[in-house]
Amino acid sequence: MARRALLGALAGALAGAAAARLAYAAFSRRPPVGDAETWERTNHRGEPITLLEGPAFAAGAAAAAAALPGLPVRTRAAVLLAVTGSGALGAYDDLYGATSSKGFRGHLNALAKGEITSGAVKLVGIGVTGLAAAALTARGPVDVVVDGALVAGSANLANLFDLRPGRAIKVGLLAGVPLLAAGLRRGDPVPAALIALPMGAALALLPEDLGERAMLGDAGANALGALVGLAAATTLGRPGRLAVLGTVVALTAASERISFTRVIAANPVLNRIDMLGRRPVEQAPAD
C-alpha cells in the first residue's frame, strides 16, 4: 500500500507539472482571453509582469486531474469543480476587478453602500464552489460545511500571500508537505495524488514566479489554495480538518489588521524562506 501511495504521488506530481508547463506555453502564445497586454500588470518593483501563470496553473491542474488514472469519479469531479470554479472566479477578478475595496471588511462596507464588488462576487462564488466540491466527497452534512469552508477559506488565504515573487507557491508547498506525508502514511494513492498534483504544477511554474516574469494572480492563487484545502478535506479526520480550518480563519482575520509582508520581513527564518530564489532587494516595501 505504501508503494502504491508513493506511485500515486509521483504520478500526480508529474502530471500536474507537465500539464502546467504545457498550459503556460500555450497561453503565452495565445492567451485564453484578450491578448498579452490584457494580462500584463506592474509588480512591486514597478516592472511589467504577466498574470498568465494563474490560468496556466488552473488549466494544467484541471487537465492533469481529468487524465490522472485511479481517481474515484466523485473525487475527480470535486477536484475539477474546485480548481475550475476558483480559477475562473479569480481570473474574473484579475481582469475586471477594482482595487478600491480590499479584504472582507472592504467588500462588506461596499455592499452596505449598495455596491457589489468583483471581490464580493468572487468570495461568494468560491464559497458556493467550495461547498459543492465538498458535497461530492464529504460523508455527511456537518462535514460538507467544514470541508466547504476549508476549500473556500484556503483559496482566499492563498491569495493573501500572493504579494511577492514565489510567496504563495512556497506557502502552498509548505502546507502540502504534511498533507503529502499523511497521505503516504495512509498508504492510499488517492489522497497522496490529490496533494502531489497541485504541488507538482506549482513547482513547475515556480521559476517563472521567482524570476518575476509571471505571477499567479487571483486565478492561480485561488486555485492553488482550493486544491490544498480539498486535499486536506479528503486526507485528514474531522479534528485535523477543524484545526486547519481554525488556522485558516485566524490568519484571514489577522490579515485585516496586520501586514504579512512586515511580519515575514521581521522574522529571520520566514524572511530567509521568502527570499529564497528571489532577486535581491534593498528594502521590501510594506503592503
pLDDT 10s digits, 100-113: 556 556 555 656 66
Residue 74 corresponds to which cell in the numbers above? 466523485
| Buried b / exposed e along 88-117 (16+ C-beta atoms within 10 A) | bbbbbbbbebeeebbbeebbeebeeeeeeb
Task: Kindly tell me if the per-residue pLDDT of 46 is higher than 90.
Answer: no
124 inside domain: yes
Mean pLDDT, the chain, rounded, equals 90
127 inside domain: yes
Provide mean pLDDT across the span 41-50: 87
pLDDT digits (tens, 9 = 90+) for 187-218: 888 999 999 999 999 999 999 999 999 999 99
- Length of the chain in terms of residues written: 287
Question: Could you tell me the pLDDT band of residue 115, with boundaries at 50, 70 and 90?
Answer: low
Q: How far is CA 152 from the centre of its chain?
A: 10
Strands 48-50 and 40-42 come out as antiparallel
Task: Kindly tell me if the per-residue pLDDT of 183 is higher than 60.
Answer: yes
pLDDT > 70 fraction of the chain, expressed in percent and rounded: 91
pLDDT digits (tens, 9 = 90+) for 247-286: 999 999 999 899 999 999 999 999 999 999 998 865 544 4
Residue 109 CA to residue 170 CA, distance in Å, equals: 32
Provide mean pLDDT across the span 21-41: 94
pLDDT digits (tens, 9 = 90+) for 59-99: 999 999 999 998 999 999 999 999 999 999 999 999 987 65
Task: Identify the pLDDT of residue 284.
Answer: 45
CB 166 within 8 A of CB 210: yes
DSSP 192-232: HHHHHHHHHHHHHHHHHHHTTSB--HHHHHHHHHHHHHHHH
What 3-state DSSP class applies to 187? coil
**Beta strand segments in the chain, E:** 40-42, 48-50
Task: Kindly tell me if the per-residue pLDDT of 43 is higher than 50.
Answer: yes
Environment class of residue 141 by beta-carbon count within 10 Å: exposed (0-12), middle (13-18) or buried (19+)? exposed
Residue 45 CA to residue 3 CA, distance in Å, equals: 46
**What backbone torsions phi and psi does residue 48 show, to the nearest 5 degrees?**
-70, 145
287 inside domain: no
38 inside domain: yes
Task: Identify the pLDDT of residue 112.
Answer: 61
pLDDT digits (tens, 9 = 90+) for 140-163: 899 999 999 999 999 999 999 998
pTM for this entry? 0.91
CB 183 within 8 A of CB 2: no
Residue 198 corresponds to which cell in the numbers above? 497541485
Provide mean pLDDT across the span 25-51: 91
64 inside domain: yes
Task: Kindly tell me if the per-residue pLDDT of 23 is higher than 80.
Answer: yes
Q: What is the span of the domain harbouring residue 220? A: 2-275
Q: Amino acid letter at 46?
A: G
Q: How many domains does the chain have?
A: 1
**Beta strand segments in 85-207, E:** none
Task: Identify the pLDDT of residue 287.
Answer: 47
Question: Which of 207, 284, 253, 223 has its CA nearest to residue 94?
Answer: 223
CB 70 within 8 A of CB 190: yes
Provide mean pLDDT across the span 211-237: 95
**What backbone torsions phi and psi does residue 49 show, to the nearest 5 degrees?**
-150, 150
Instruction: For residue 25, give the DSSP letter.
Output: H
Establish how many alpha carbons lie within 13 A of residue 142's alpha carbon, considering only the half-sphere containing its beta carbon. Answer: 5
281 inside domain: no
219 inside domain: yes
208 inside domain: yes
40, β-bridge pairs: 50
